[in-house]
Amino acid sequence: GENVEQHPSTLSVQEGDSAVIKCTYSDSASNYFPWYKQELGKGPQLIIDIRSNVGEKKDQRIAVTLNKTAKHFSLHITETQPEDSAVYFCAASTGTASKLTFGTGTRLQVTL
Amino acid sequence: DAGITQSPRHKVTETGTPVTLRCHQTENHRYMYWYRQDPGHGLRLIHYSYGVKDTDKGEVSDGYSVSRSKTEDFLLTLESATSSQTSVYFCAISEGTSREQYFGPGTRLTVT
């Protein structure tokens, strides 16, 4: 089955700096890659996703890039703010019933 | 949380007792999923449903069963709870075509 690895497990940045979280996947048939943000005590919230027919997608301060050849994708957050502090999860899906395989998460802390 | 409720939100039970968790959606989405979240493991798929009375196993299905008698309700049952099933359980829904999954607020289950 699919295996998704996520790095780093923790990331601390200063407010205004950029943050990058990287994930690799094992199944070359995976074609859908969402990113979720989870705040303490809440369910994961979908923040951005990318499909295998595009290499990059941007939404205001967040962007995701996909390298199908290398089988890795990354989340980029620019101009970080304290409210960006949360746990971020990447995931991959081959499309069968949209089942997701998740990475183990990155705890992002944005310090003042 | 995209019209998804989970009940109960917290439960403490003893080893060997049966437990049923409920997920209810108001979005009329076709797909529903149960995940468990444990430290160091991210979210792992337990079971999913692709329609009324249509269910299938995920990667960690042992010890769990599910039922879906109505589009809006997806039940997760632990027939005989064990301490290893102490976890936070999340329900998710997906319309299917768009592939996006939306998560409920979670149920924290403790098995003593």
CA distance A16 to A12: 12
Q: Which residue of B has its CA nearest to A49?
A: B100
Kindly compute the dihedral angle of the four CA atoms of residues B10, B64, B103, B86, in this order, to the nearest 10 degrees: 40
Q: Is B101 on the interface with A (CB under 8 A)?
A: yes
CB–CB contact A102 B42 (8 Å):
yes
Per-chain mean pLDDT for chain A: 95
Q: Which residue has the higher pLDDT, A97 or B77?
A: B77
What mean pLDDT comes out for the span B88-92?
98
How do A106-111 and A10-14 pair as beta strands?
A: parallel
B26 neighbors B107 (Cβ within 8 angstroms): no
> A27 by DSSP, 3-state: which?
coil
B54 neighbors B70 (Cβ within 8 angstroms): no
> B85 by DSSP, 3-state: which?
helix
How do B10-13 and B107-111 pair as beta strands?
A: parallel
CB–CB contact A104 B41 (8 Å):
yes
- Residue for token pair 């990287």: A22
* Minimal CA separation from B43 to chain A, in Å: 6
Mention every residue, 6+ apart, whose C-beta is less than 8 A from residue B47. B33, B34, B55, B56, B57, B58, B61, B64, B65, B66, B76
Q: Which residue of A has its CA nearest to B49?
A: A97
Kindly compute the dihedral angle of the four CA atoms of residues B98, B95, B47, A92, in this order, to the nearest 10 degrees: 10
Among residues B87, B88, B70, B76, the alpha carbon closest in space to that of B33 is found at: B76
Q: Is B31 on the interface with A (CB under 8 A)?
A: yes
pLDDT at B98: 72
CA distance B47 to B62: 10
CA distance A19 to A71: 20
CB–CB contact A42 B44 (8 Å):
no
CA distance A46 to A71: 21
pLDDT at A96: 66
pLDDT at A69: 93
Q: Which residue of A has its CA nearest to B2?
A: A45
What mean pLDDT comes out for the span A86-112?
92
A42 contacts in chain B (CB < 8 Å): 105-106
B100 neighbors B87 (Cβ within 8 angstroms): no
Interface test with A, best of B59, B101, B103, B107 (most A CBs within 10 A): B101
Nearest to B45 among A36, A42, A99 (CB): A99
pLDDT, tens digit, for every residue of B1-13? 569 999 999 999 9
Q: What is the largest CA-CA distance in chain A?
A: 43
A106 neighbors B52 (Cβ within 8 angstroms): no
CB–CB contact B58 A99 (8 Å):
yes
B111 neighbors B85 (Cβ within 8 angstroms): yes
Per-chain mean pLDDT for chain B: 95
